[in-house]
Amino acid sequence: MPTLPPFGLGTFRLQGQSAIDSVATGLELGYRAIDTAQIYGNEAEVGQAIAASGVARDALFLTTKIWTDNYAADKLVPSLKDSLAKLRTDHADLVLIHWPSPGGAVPVAEFMGALADAKARGLAKQIGVSNFNIELMRQAIAAVGAGEIATHQIELHPYLQNRKSVAFALGQGIPITSYMTLGYGAVLKDPVIGEIAAARQATPAQVTLAWAMQLGYAVIPSSTRRANLESNLLARELRLSESEMAQIAALDCNGRLTSPEGLAPAWD
């Protein structure tokens, strides 16, 4: 089973030609993990860029996420098959439940069971969850076992370090994927990160991504600019000192940026 790549390319908010160009450029620069979702409305564009890239499918790690409308046991697998058709592949390497079911309309056991069924059919190599709180994580583990959950993908950046959720997941052996690691760009203006970046002759984005990876989290930054895509890759070679890590740890202020009404659980 392929391990979760520590560094990938996110496609949230990328539409149409922007999505095609970002993925095409990323693949050209050496990105090999791509993260998309049904609700992003860009799976077909991601699939088009991959097909045109000439990169072999088995060299890629492709993640998509099931949207809340498709959680019922009779809908999840057909919706995933539709996603795979758009992505021009017969399987995803990782399929996540994107958000909790609004109002608990579909029980966790039902959609996790359907997700496990998708894996059993070979439509997904690995499965996982996103945007759960600890109680929902407990229910997901009860449904399929912690060993079946390849990652918990959550908003995580220097201003929102999500320590309770992280500690629970890691305690169960479930790796963390950080999304919005750059905090929509807000943390890139932070003077502490700026000072570390200047001292390291690095960019604030490189410092922030390196911080997350050094904590053991996978990251999936996105960009439409070739220079940023290229620069972000260099974060993989940056190692921060204990003092620098501690300075960034001290920036946590529970600064959550995404908590959509009707979707978000009661956060821990």
Query: Which structure tokens are listed for 33?
Result: 């993990």
Residue showing tokens 């697998």: 77
Answer whether residue 231 shows pLDDT above 70: yes
- Is 198 among the domain residues? no
Q: pLDDT (tens digit, 9 = 90+) per residue, 94-139?
A: 999 999 999 999 999 999 999 999 999 999 999 999 999 999 999 9
For residue 3, name the pLDDT band (cuts at 50, 70, 90).
confident
- Is 125 among the domain residues? yes
Q: Report which of residues 129 and 1 the model is more confident about.
A: 129
Query: Which residues, including other chains, have CB under 8 Å from residue 185's CB and lie 6 or more apart?
Result: none
The helices-and-strands tally (H runs, E runs) of the chain is 10, 8
Using alpha carbons, select from 107, 81, 78 the residue that is nearest to residue 92: 81
User: DSSP strand E in 98-148: where?
Assistant: 124-130
Taking a C-beta distance cutoff of 8 angstroms, is the pair 111, 136 a contact?
no
Query: Which structure tokens are listed for 245?
Result: 């890590």
CATH number at residue 110: 3.20.20.100
Task: Respond yes or no: is residue 40 known to be catalytic.
Answer: yes
> What does the pLDDT average to over 54-58?
96
Residue of 40, 159, 179, 217 marked catalytic: 40
Percentage of the chain lying above the pLDDT 70 cut: 99
Q: pLDDT (tens digit, 9 = 90+) per residue, 155-191?
A: 999 999 999 999 999 999 999 999 999 999 999 999 9
> What does the pLDDT average to over 212-222?
98
For residue 2, name the pLDDT band (cuts at 50, 70, 90).
low
> What does the pLDDT average to over 28-51?
98
How many structural domains does the chain have? Answer: 1
Mean pLDDT, the chain, rounded, equals 97
- Is 189 among the domain residues? no
> What does the pLDDT average to over 31-36?
98
- Is 15 among the domain residues? yes
- Within 88-162, residue ranges assigned H as helices are 108-120, 134-144
Query: Which residues, including other chains, have CB under 8 Å from residue 198's CB and lie 6 or more apart?
Result: none
User: What pTM did the predictor assign?
Assistant: 0.97
Domain span including residue 138: 9-183+218-224
